[in-house]
């Protein structure tokens, strides 16, 4: 007789595929944390810079009358605490990889920042200041606009010119783009839309230089630097643009 099929146990149902693990966003730095980082780094840096000036024995002199080595040393003292703060916050609140957290990447196309920076100095600033110089020729004269850079350049001679160039053309763009675009604007873009982040970071970048006569130009150039970040999602293009902008300014005052 055939076997009784009804005695067979029912076939096991195929197991359901396991649900894929939830994908969580990489930790990132909030706007509040970014601003707190800036405050801490800026205060510590200014204290360190002031200490350098005091120890140099030139605290009673105007900035234009100090030796260039004092300007270079105080700038480095200002930057180091800011860079340390960036590293600490990256490890504490983000991925722990500062290059990624602050979008510090370069591509060959970033070399286009050289003509962008040169044109920003030679064309954009002139367009910004042309109506201001027409209305307030004494306040916004070229002499006042170039005074800071010219005073700094006039203090440098021989080997110190090289250090001055490294400070203005390499150091300042690198640190400022890390702080104002990589940290602050990057955090702002995660909190608000790109347009608000762009304008806010550019305004803050201008104001923090504490040179009212330079505010219009710095704000306009800050918009260019912010646009570089938005266009590429990295600060490499902005650093190259900033480098070319500062180098052109030095060449103009050295002429």
The residues spanned by each domain of the chain are 29-254
2: left (phi over 0), alpha (psi -120 to 50) or beta: beta
CA distances from residue 155 to 28, 43, 161, 162, 166 in whole angstroms, order as listed? 43, 27, 9, 12, 15
pLDDT digits (tens, 9 = 90+) for 205-224: 999 998 999 999 999 999 99
Can you give the pLDDT at residue 62? Answer: 81
The structure tokens listed for 163 are 């250090």
Contacts of residue 97, defined as CB under 8 A and 6 or more positions apart, other chains included, come to 90
DSSP characters over 110-162: GGGHHHHHHHIIIIIHHHHHHHHHHH-TTTT-HHHHHHHHHHHHHT--THHHH
- Looking up tokens 């180091």, which residue turns up? 80
Other Cβ atoms closer than 10 A to 74? 23
pLDDT reading at 23 higher than 50: no
The structure tokens listed for 244 are 């070319």
What's the length of the chain?
A: 255
pLDDT digits (tens, 9 = 90+) for 37-89: 999 999 999 999 999 999 999 889 887 788 888 989 999 999 999 999 999 99
pLDDT reading at 115 higher than 80: yes
- Looking up tokens 């105007």, which residue turns up? 62
pLDDT reading at 18 higher than 70: no
């Amino acid at each position: 007789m055939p076997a009784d099929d009804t005695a067979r146990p029912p076939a096991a149902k195929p197991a359901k595929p396991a649900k894929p693990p939830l994908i969580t966003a990489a930790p990132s730095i909030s706007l509040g944390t970014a601003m707190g980082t800036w405050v801490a780094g800026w205060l510590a840096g200014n204290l360190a810079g002031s200490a350098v000036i005091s120890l140099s024995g030139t605290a009673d002199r105007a900035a234009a009358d100090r030796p260039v080595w004092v300007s270079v040393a105080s700038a480095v003292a200002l930057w180091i605490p800011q860079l340390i703060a960036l590293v600490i916050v990256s490890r504490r609140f983000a991925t722990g990889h500062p290059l990624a957290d602050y979008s510090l990447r370069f591509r060959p196309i970033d070399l286009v920042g050289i003509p962008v920076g040169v044109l920003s100095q030679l064309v954009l600033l002139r367009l910004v200041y042309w109506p201001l110089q027409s209305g307030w020729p004494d306040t916004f004269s070229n002499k006042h606009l170039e005074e800071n850079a010219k005073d700094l350049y006039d203090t440098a001679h021989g080997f110190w010119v090289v250090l001055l160039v490294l400070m203005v053309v390499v150091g300042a763009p690198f640190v400022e783009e890390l702080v104002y675009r990589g940290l602050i604007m990057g955090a702002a873009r995660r909190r608000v839309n790109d347009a608000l982040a762009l304008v806010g970071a550019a305004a803050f970048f201008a104001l923090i230089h504490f040179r009212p006569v330079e505010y219009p130009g710095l704000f306009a150039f800050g918009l260019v630097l912010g646009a570089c970040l938005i266009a590429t999602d990295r600060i490499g293009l902005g650093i190259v643009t900033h480098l070319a902008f500062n180098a052109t300014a030095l060449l103009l005052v050295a002429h």
